[in-house]
Chain A
Amino acid sequence: MTEEGPPVVYEQLIAALAAEEAAIYAYGVVGVHLPGNADRIQAQAAEQAHRDRRADLVAELSRVRASTPPAPAAYELPFPVTDRPSALKLAIHVEDGVAAAWRAVLPVTEDAGRTSALSALTDAAIRATRWRRTAGVTPLTLAFPGRPA
């Protein structure tokens, strides 16, 4: 990321931060509704990955002294989450959303910043595929992860 990047970079990074924070919140909800140990371990690993990305983003935004809005205390879920199928659906939804946020960072970054955004996009897309397999959803993949539908 450049030392004095244009404001649009910050906007996209702040959007990515918001997506990561929403994901962390969502995995709290997801975890409650996953009875199986394997599912729960998968959710915990995913949540930790989002916490790591959030920490990196906060550090980067603070380095460039961009002000970040505080994360909301709670979120309105896109659909009711009451059982394992709806919890897995939320996990897929969240990873697709995170992939979209990072994809939007690609055109406004170069070099290391873009490499990092691509890595975040790829990791989210892979987790979405794992959740689809866990949930028995097909197809397992999207042709263009993160592209607006």
Chain B
Amino acid sequence: MATNVQSIVPDAASAASLPKQPSQAAERWRAFCRRRAALVALVILAAIVLACIAAPWLSPYDPYAGNVKERLLPVGSAGHLLGTDEQGRDLLTRILYGGRLSLLSGIVPVMIAVILGGGLGIIAGYFKGIVNTLIMRTLDILFSFPAILLAIGISASLGPGISNIIISATIVFIPPIARIAETAVKEVKKEEYIEAALSSGAGTGLIIRFHVVNNIFSRLFVYSTTQIGICLMLASGLSFLGLGVSPPTPEWGFMLNNLKQVIFIDPIVTIVPGIFIFITSLALNIVSDALSDVLDSKG
């Protein structure tokens, strides 16, 4: 190798351009669609969400007022597809309107927890040392409470109301999300591109913005989608206990509370709101399971 070596392999850089490759997103979508159960679940989920959003256009009834003379009509009655509740209100209408609140209380806490918990996790994971210890130990303490107990305790302190349920649920989900973020950040920190960024004199903010956040995002995203179903159940459970909305506001968990009282008159009326909680939560679990399969396999 005393003189300039001629390469045997033609210079790869001289290729005019790389062959056209499908984008990562398209690949992943196709992988997702191959899982039929997940696709079905996604469709059902979309249908439920859209129906709830379109509630005022889909139903002629008032969700708040009902005809007491028509109370507790069974499923399939004329004019009331899902029957009526204990005050004669059309159940389907209340399901659609109530779904908005229930879905919101399932998704919003997780979204806020991703921002807050993710932020805390990034700070703890990037800065290590005492900052890490302080943040993670405090979150561990919160994590030491069983979720529903913590939520009940916080809700009890704050008082009833759906916004307080959202606050309690957010607090419940911040610790595990923060832990996922912290672990991911610690791994990313070991990569050489972080060293390269440091050696160019970049400040912490820039490094976190361009090199950390986008590299932990998919793991955070996958984890938080698995929590939405759980959050939905937690929030409706809290509503069921009466810690959420107050009458006559419709909400799936709260409707179960109302109907519980008439269970001795009509034992199967409680099925309806509950089945929506169940199907939505099940569909969410299936979809997020498939999402984590698809996204994780790409590393």
> Do A and B assemble together?
no
Task: List the interface of chain A (C-beta within 8 A of B).
Answer: none
Identify the B interface with A (CB < 8 A).
none
